[in-house]
Amino acid sequence: LEVMSTVGSRQGETGLLRWKDLDSNGILTFQGAITKSRKTRRVPLPLALQATLEARRGEPGELIFGAIPKDQQGRYALLRRALKKVGLKGCLHDFRRSVSMILYRKGGNIKDVAELLGHSAQVALKFYQQAKSPEDLRNLVEW
């Protein structure tokens, strides 16, 4: 959950990561074969998350999250239980949405955010143009 909520990865991408996909500089490489778009993307990890993962590093070919079931239904069930256990509501894809909005609002441009998450620029542009900040919504309800 921490990886998904930090870098906005999909549950399938996260479950298929191998130790060889995490380099010594803290760059996580999502290989094209495991991504929805089939495009390889490289995502920098925050230092704290990199240290957490490095502390349990395994062999290059091993899955980073070997306990996650290989099938989509099994992954969903496991991750939904984890969400419930930590008291979070919503769906797993909410992590991706949250990460994209946080990056965008922190000053990331649409193209960079789209590239980090593996979105096409057109899809990202449409999404961010529709997104409203809490301040924008407040203006709608205040008279």
pTM for the predicted model, two decimal places: 0.70
Q: φ and ψ at 44, to 5 degrees?
A: -75, 140
Burial of 98 (0-12, 13-18, 19+ CB in 10 A): middle
**Contact present, 5 and 98 (Cβ < 8 Å):** yes
Q: Got the DSSP string for 21-50?
A: GB-TTSEEEE-GGGSTT---EEEEPPHHHH
* Tens-binned pLDDT, residue by residue, of the chain (143 aa): 788 888 888 888 888 899 999 999 999 898 877 777 777 888 888 899 999 999 999 999 999 988 777 788 888 888 888 888 888 777 767 777 777 777 777 777 777 777 777 776 666 666 655 655 555 544 544 43
Contact 64, 18 (CB under 8 A): yes
Please report the pLDDT score of residue 50 as a whole number: 93
At 132 the pLDDT is: 53
